[in-house]
Amino acid sequence: MTSVAVIDYGMGNLRSVAKALERVAPRARVTLSNDAADLRRAERVVFPGQGAIGDAMAELRRLGLDDVVRELIGTKPFLGICLGLQALLDHSEEDGGVDGFATFPGTVRRFPGGLQDADSGSRLKVPHMGWNQVHQSDPQHPLWQDIAQDSRFYFVHSYYADTSLSSVVAGTTRYGVEFVSAAGRDNLFAVQFHPEKSQHAGLRLLENFMRWDGQE
């Protein structure tokens, strides 16, 4: 029986993520925990989150989980969701500037004002909230298995990931600007959207993760 731990640091739609994992892998052991031993014991780890990155990084440090996260990033299949993607970059502009885990090079930037839809010219609101397409940069990645190119996923965010290292970009989305909506390397995959809220395509991605051995 496979096992997965969802990192519980008090931020994000944690129980919805756990419930979605239980749905796609009913025989798996799903643990929602902030205990380092539980996280290390699990075969795979999910790092969810939503809200402000300054609060998130401070809470991880308070719980003594920041070093544990760094360790887990390099040792087992690891999925970041929403803030769990942004925290993996070098730095975020949010909250006056906050350093992340620097797993992926790049900066988390706020969507600029005055965004317009490229087709209709209509004004785009911030936060970016709702359904949008994800263009798979590497459709052969195991987590994209049986997910159609340009499938729609559910987003809620005011900041977006920006990296110049194309080799880690696994998916992109356009909302006035093109941004990284999925990034991956080795045993690590992270998405800006919420797969637990993204119906069939999102559940399929979670199911793929639960089968993934961490190899690209």
What are the catalytic residues?
A: 82, 194, 196
Q: Hey, what are 79's tokens? A: 């999925």
User: Quick one: how far is CA 146 from the chain centroid?
Assistant: 19
180 to each of 48, 76, 112, 213, how far by Cα in Å?
17, 23, 16, 24
**What is the C-alpha separation between 190 and 104, in angstroms, rounded?**
10
**What is the C-alpha separation between 152 and 146, in angstroms, rounded?**
14
Q: Hey, what are 59's tokens? A: 């809470």
Which residues, at least 6 apart from 41, have a Cβ–Cβ distance to it below 8 Å? 3, 5
CB 133 within 8 A of CB 171: no
Task: Outline where DSSP puts E strands in the chain.
Answer: 3-7, 29-33, 44-47, 78-81, 89-92, 98-99, 104-110, 128-133, 135-136, 152-157, 159-162, 169-175, 177-185, 188-191
CB 48 within 8 A of CB 118: no
